[in-house]
Chain A
């Protein structure tokens, strides 16, 4: 598979994961561009691994961690503006906005684990490879993330979510 073929087939998925990791459309696209540009010169090696998806997602997660370190936490405070979101019923929009804001406050690896599990639908073993940790650590990240979300939802007393738990 050439670099061009990969980007045409899988580039959109990579960008979407980057959007979720960064919490921002433009930042996500920039991050995905950075990662793909880094991958380009060593594409022959990456594709020889036969797991370019794994390789690029690992690069993406690491690049996002580095980006957050550089820019510090303030960038995350303003997360939440993604244009073109699919319309939904009003109460659902409120819920999703709430969840989206809360996701932005999660520690970076917890957020990455949540994105990779619930958006990418990857299993723990694959996520562990991407995050470079043990599968049990992935489960811990996800459990802690869900617990934190529940706690913060309780604090903000969002009735629809709180009532259904």
Chain B
């Protein structure tokens, strides 16, 4: 443990120390909790469900025309080839879905590192990611889910997305693909937002709550619904298997109808690309992608890509090294100590977990920062090359972002 960590612990202990008036805490929380319970019983049994579902329903968003990029082979299965192919929004149930609220009309996609919408208090309409034409779909071969971090093997009909939201993030990592949407307003009785998770292994999904489970129909199959029925409407979780070997789960703020609505809007007949708003033009040969994430936030778009570098690009270390490249809008380069591509940059090396060396390089791109974080036996020259090769996608539309961000 470093001196910094030690003083950090002492600081936190000191600041947390003042006595907590437990009896007052208990009295206040019990009183407020009971009031909340009464309100839930009244509203939850009458209009709560409708309110919650309404909050999850947005105006239809036009799905952009399909892109035709090819994904990069990353050494894992899933990209390109195979007997089954992705089809354009084939089996989506949006046409028959009722709309409970009227949201804004379809917007332009709020993506880009040079996003003109950055700074908005809320976002409307979720942009579609480009389609990976020709990729094997999950319904045909569930094993493709999570096998290639550059592919997302599910989609959600935009009609069930919130009319307004604060953040939406797609991720593919550790065999799990998911979409998290954080809505703008607190819903009546729970934390706002919803999550969709897809994997070919049930253990990759969030653990279902233990209470209040029962079977429900999801399309042609049976799923397990878990919700807090005894306390009115709060959160619901629904897990099902669209086909044998494929697992999906939704978590929503709302009850059974909200969970079913979202679950029925999840499709497995199209494959999208996890694209990021940048290209890395100086990637060492043999590098592979470990994970990918792309997020839309009110501050603009961000993207993250983790790479595994081979021994030849890791100072000869047999295990290679890992580097994460991320567009970050929350960090500024306050004390540059060098230039990278003519831009102010801060390079630091320090000891990380388990005494592993860490290199952090933050490059100021005037409006956002590109952060590179390398761990293991990295080669600093390779990391600098990576940073030098960073190119902004320069567009607010993810359909124009590079299908292959490496090279």
* Contact residues, B193-240 vs A (CB, 8 A): 209-212, 228, 230-232, 234
- Do the beta carbons of B352 and A37 come within 8 Å of each other? no
Is B102 at the interface (CB under 8 A from chain A)? no
CB within 8 Å for A151 and B334 given contacts A41-B33, A146-B4, A161-B3: yes
B12 in complex: contacting residue of A29, A42, A118, CB < 8 Å? A118
Is A159 at the interface (CB under 8 A from chain B)? no
Chain A residues with Cβ under 8 A from B8's Cβ? 99, 103, 114, 118, 149
* Contact residues, B3-60 vs A (CB, 8 A): 3-5, 7-20, 22, 25-26, 28-30, 32-34, 36-37, 40
Chain A residues with Cβ under 8 A from B20's Cβ? 11-12, 15-16, 29
How far is the CB of A159 from the nearest CB of chain B, in Å?
13
Is B324 at the interface (CB under 8 A from chain A)? yes
- Do the beta carbons of B3 and A164 come within 8 Å of each other? yes
B211 in complex: contacting residue of A45, A59, A134, CB < 8 Å? A45
Distance in angstroms between the alpha carbons of A62 and B182 in the assembled complex? 11
Chain A residues with Cβ under 8 A from B334's Cβ? 151-152, 155
Chain A CB within 10 Å, residue with most, of B10, B16, B353: B16
How far is the CB of B195 from the nearest CB of chain A, in Å?
8
Is B330 at the interface (CB under 8 A from chain A)? yes
- Do the beta carbons of B18 and A83 come within 8 Å of each other? yes
Chain B residues with Cβ under 8 A from A107's Cβ? 330-331
How far is the CB of B129 from the nearest CB of chain A, in Å?
20
With both beta carbons as reference points, the residue of chain B lying nearest to A36 in the complex is identified as: B29
Is A69 at the interface (CB under 8 A from chain B)? yes
How far is the CB of A134 from the nearest CB of chain B, in Å?
6
CB within 8 Å for A59 and B191 given contacts A25-B18, A49-B209: yes
How far is the CB of B370 from the nearest CB of chain A, in Å?
14
- Do the beta carbons of A84 and B16 come within 8 Å of each other? no
Interface size class of B (residues with CB under 8 A): 35 or more
How far is the CB of A128 from the nearest CB of chain B, in Å?
11
* Contact residues, A1-36 vs B (CB, 8 A): 3-4, 7-8, 11-12, 15-17, 19-20, 25, 29, 32-33, 36
Chain B residues with Cβ under 8 A from A144's Cβ? 331, 360, 371, 373
- Do the beta carbons of B33 and A40 come within 8 Å of each other? yes
- Do the beta carbons of B373 and A33 come within 8 Å of each other? no
CB within 8 Å for A161 and B37 given contacts A84-B19, A134-B173: no
> Chain A, 76-97, contact with B by CB distance < 8 Å: what is the 0/1 string?
0000001111101000100110
How far is the CB of A124 from the nearest CB of chain B, in Å?
8
Distance in angstroms between the alpha carbons of A20 and B15 in the assembled complex? 7
- Do the beta carbons of A84 and B17 come within 8 Å of each other? yes
Chain B residues with Cβ under 8 A from A37's Cβ? 28-29, 32-33, 36
Distance in angstroms between the alpha carbons of A154 and B40 in the assembled complex? 52
Distance in angstroms between the alpha carbons of A63 and B182 in the assembled complex? 12
Distance in angstroms between the alpha carbons of A135 and B246 in the assembled complex? 24
Chain A residues with Cβ under 8 A from B343's Cβ? none
Is B381 at the interface (CB under 8 A from chain A)? no
How far is the CB of A122 from the nearest CB of chain B, in Å?
13
* Contact residues, A45-60 vs B (CB, 8 A): 45, 48-50, 59
Is B346 at the interface (CB under 8 A from chain A)? yes
How far is the CB of A103 from the nearest CB of chain B, in Å?
7
* Contact residues, A89-127 vs B (CB, 8 A): 92, 95-96, 99-100, 103, 107, 114-115, 118-119
B348 in complex: contacting residue of A84, A147, A153, CB < 8 Å? A147
- Do the beta carbons of A3 and B30 come within 8 Å of each other? yes
- Do the beta carbons of A99 and B373 come within 8 Å of each other? no
CB within 8 Å for A143 and B30 given contacts A20-B15, A44-B230, A96-B7: no
Binding site for A on B (CB under 8 A): 2-5, 7-20, 22, 25-26, 28-30, 32-34, 36-37, 40, 166, 173-174, 180, 186, 191, 209-212, 228, 230-232, 234, 291, 306, 324, 330-331, 334-335, 346, 348, 350, 352-353, 358, 360, 371, 373
What are 22 A-B pairs at a CB distance below 8 A? A25-B18, A41-B36, A41-B231, A41-B232, A42-B234, A45-B209, A45-B228, A48-B211, A83-B18, A84-B17, A96-B14, A99-B7, A99-B11, A100-B11, A107-B330, A114-B12, A139-B352, A146-B5, A147-B358, A153-B4, A154-B335, A155-B335
Q: A25-B18, A33-B29, A37-B29 are in contact. List 12 more A-B contacts (CB 8 A).
A: A3-B30, A40-B37, A41-B232, A42-B234, A45-B209, A96-B7, A143-B352, A147-B350, A147-B358, A147-B360, A150-B4, A161-B7
Binding site for B on A (CB under 8 A): 3-4, 7-8, 11-12, 15-17, 19-20, 25, 29, 32-33, 36-42, 44-45, 48-50, 59, 62-63, 66, 69, 82-86, 88, 92, 95-96, 99-100, 103, 107, 114-115, 118-119, 132, 134, 136, 139-140, 142-144, 146-155, 161, 164-165
